Amino acid sequence: MTRPFVPDGERIYCIGDIHGRQDLLSQLHDFILADAKSYSGLKKMVYLGDYIDRGAHSRQVIDTLLESSLDGFENVFLLGNHEQAMMDFIQRPLELASWLTFGGRETLHSYGVTLAHIPLLADLPNLAAQLEESLPASHRKFLENCNTHWSCGRYYFVHAGIRPGVALDEQQFEDQLWIRGEFLFSQKDHGAIIVHGHSISTQVEMLPNRIGIDTGAYQSGVLTCLVLEGEEQRLLQTGGH
5 part of a folded domain: no
Rounded to an integer, what distance in angstroms lies between the CA atom of residue 8 and that of residue 131? 45
- pLDDT, tens digit (0-9, with 9 covering 90-100), for 32-68: 999 999 999 999 999 999 999 999 999 999 999 999 7
At 121, the pLDDT band (50, 70, 90 cuts) reads confident
- Residue 57: alpha-carbon gap to chain centroid: 15
Kindly report the average pLDDT of the chain as a whole number. 96
Q: CATH number of the domain that 224 lies in?
A: 3.60.21.10
228 part of a folded domain: yes
Full residue range of the structural domain in which residue 28 is found:
10-80+147-237
Which stretches of the chain are DSSP H helices?
22-36, 58-67, 81-91, 104-110, 124-134, 137-144, 173-178, 181-184, 217-220
125 part of a folded domain: no
Query: How many domains does the chain fold into?
Result: 1
137 part of a folded domain: no
Q: Does 176 score more than 70 pLDDT? A: yes
64 part of a folded domain: yes
